[in-house]
Amino acid sequence: MEDLFAQFVDSDAVSQIISNTPIELQAYALAVADLNEFPLPKSTVEFIDGKPYFQELEIPFTAGLTDLRKIDANSDIVSQLAKVEGIRERLKVQHENNIQAYIGLFAPLRDLPLVKDMDLIRQFSNADSLANGFAPIIAQSQSINMLPQYSQTAQFRLQSALACKMAGLAKPAEQLFNLVIQSQLIEQNVGYQTLLDELSNQIGAAKVAATFAMKGNSKRHEKNRQRKEFALRLYRQKPYLNPKQATKNHYAKIAKHAESIGYPFSISGDETVYRWFLEESKKEKN
């Protein structure tokens, strides 16, 4: 619970920082505070207690696909999603859109003005936190985290990026802004990557199963073809009055052959043989 509350910004404390920030740096302090208003990039799915929760996910569920809201087990949800054609590509497109939207939120930071006072830039750059860089007197009297949803690594990189921006070092600033974005995306990517991995495993397993099923079907068809050809060779030897008599005369031999090739008849095997002989008899008459 403490971790949850730690993610919320202390608006009063941040307001104190901004009001005590030198005028030359106030645009920067305001821009940093505004980052708290921007939602962090959402993973396409978050895993909570082993169960996935989807965010703004639009999938063309078919009539035969189980409604995800009725499924409790994580493995069942993944297996259902794996049935949706092109699901991985759809997830990747949505996630990329989320990333691009998040990158756009940093545009105001890139447009901040230069700062002419080098002493202020040095003070800000060397401070041990963003709050201390903007208003050291206030920050030293209390612990203030201006961006509680950002990791310490991301905050240090952002501080360095802003210092470069203040000094007019555009390229280093841009590189550091990108590192800030990357560090945040990596932290928020766990659910998305987990889902993609599980989907890939599920789809891969389904393909393997389908391949074996096709091989199994092919083998069964071949055995059945051999069994039928043996029966028809006996049928063509004659004499007999009709297909029914032929079945009675030859079924024992046909059943024995079927067992020898590992494909015995079921209980109604004689009916199958009679149907084959009847079809053959009709062909002969035509």
Query: Band of the pLDDT at 129, cuts 50, 70, 90?
Result: very high
Q: What is the mean pLDDT of residues 104-109?
A: 85
Task: Say what the pTM is.
Answer: 0.54
Report the phi/psi class of residue 86: left, alpha or beta, with left for phi > 0 and alpha for psi in -120 to 50.
left
pLDDT above 50: residue 267: yes
Q: What is the mean pLDDT of residues 281-286?
A: 77
Alpha-carbon span 36 to 260, nearest angstrom: 76
State the helix-helix crossing angle for 190-235 and 269-285, rounded to 10 degrees. 60
Alpha-carbon span 249 to 246, nearest angstrom: 5
Percent of the chain with pLDDT over 70: 71
Q: What is the mean pLDDT of residues 202-220?
A: 54
Alpha-carbon span 264 to 152, nearest angstrom: 71
Query: Band of the pLDDT at 4, cuts 50, 70, 90?
Result: very low
6-47 residue pLDDT tens: 456 678 888 999 999 999 999 999 999 988 876 665 555 666
- pLDDT score at 243: 85
Q: Where are the alpha helices (DSSP H) in the chain?
A: 2-5, 11-19, 26-34, 74-82, 87-104, 107-110, 118-126, 130-134, 136-141, 152-167, 170-188, 190-235, 243-260, 269-285
Q: Are 163 and 125 in contact (CB under 8 A)?
A: yes
Alpha-carbon span 84 to 59, nearest angstrom: 8
Find the Cα–Cα–Cα–Cα dihedral 143, 148, 152, 155, rounded to 10°. Answer: -100
Q: Are 28 and 166 in contact (CB under 8 A)?
A: yes
Amino acid sitting at position 135: A
Dump the DSSP string for 37-85: GSPPPPPSEEEETTEEEESS------TTSPPGGG--SHHHHHHHHHTST
Q: Are 223 and 261 in contact (CB under 8 A)?
A: yes
Between 78 and 276, residue with greater pLDDT: 276
Which is nearest to 29 in space by CA: 143, 102, 115?
115
